[in-house]
Amino acid sequence: MKKLRRLLARLRRHPQPSPQRDRIRKAINRVRRAQSPRPLVKPLAMFDAISVDQIPKDAQAVAGYTSGNWPTFPEVQRKFPRAHKLSIAISASHDADCLDIERGDASPSDAPGWVKRQMPRVKRPVVYASRSDMPAVLRSLASGGLGRSRVRVWSAHYTYKPHICGPHTCGASFQADATQWTDKARGRNLDESLCTPNFFS
């Protein structure tokens, strides 16, 4: 910070264009780049479980349901105040960060209306579905005028190997933003997902 202040003071002493002013400006840009926070470059692990006690206490990201048989999100909020959190709705009539699209919950045809309703409160709503069902979800969104960039895609693909679904990882026809790859993380009744570094940004 002191170095930046010194450089800015020097710049003020050279108000006219000159080679020296150009050198000072380049030095200022280098200092500012060095001081900028480094973006997260590693994929992020996200956990969810019907019993919140199964989730690691040091989890950086946690998901939970807002309703249904296991409404875990209120407990997740209390126990993980510093973690990234994702709320999940099991019905298109409920508001949340994510819509759970699977048998017994929401259907692909519910996705467009639900996503549009969430947009004022969620920057890029999340749609969750199995790897095999996700293409139908994306087609439904497209038919509703919602391109891929308007949502975050969270796929379920239990290979028991960490990955994010895509053409170059598991041969999926779509590129996911996160993938739930196991329901037995750390030998527990625990789901773990791998998320892109910008999933929560």
Report which of residues 64 and 33 the model is more confident about. Answer: 64
Give residues with Cβ within 8 angstroms of 58, minimum separation 6.
none
| Predicted local distance difference test score (pLDDT) of residue 29 | 83
Q: What is the pLDDT of residues 85-140, one digit of tens each?
A: 999 999 999 999 999 999 999 999 999 999 999 999 999 999 999 999 999 999 99
Instruction: State the average pLDDT over residues 58-70.
Output: 96
Q: What is the pLDDT of residues 4-63, one digit of tens each?
A: 778 778 878 888 888 888 888 888 888 777 766 555 578 999 999 999 999 999 999 999
Report which of residues 186 and 36 the model is more confident about. Answer: 186
**CA 159/CA 157 separation, integer angstroms:** 6
Nearest alpha carbon to residue 109 among 84, 92, 131 = 92
Band of pLDDT at residue 1, cut at 50, 70 and 90: low
Instruction: State the average pLDDT over residues 156-184.
Output: 97
Angle, helix 2-12 to helix 19-35, in steps of 10 degrees? 160
Within 10 Å of residue 165's Cβ, how many Cβ atoms?
27
Please name each of the domains of the chain with its CATH number: 2-35 (no CATH), 44-195 (3.20.20.80)
**CA 196/CA 5 separation, integer angstroms:** 36
> Where does the chain have alpha helices with state H?
2-12, 19-35, 73-79, 111-118, 134-143
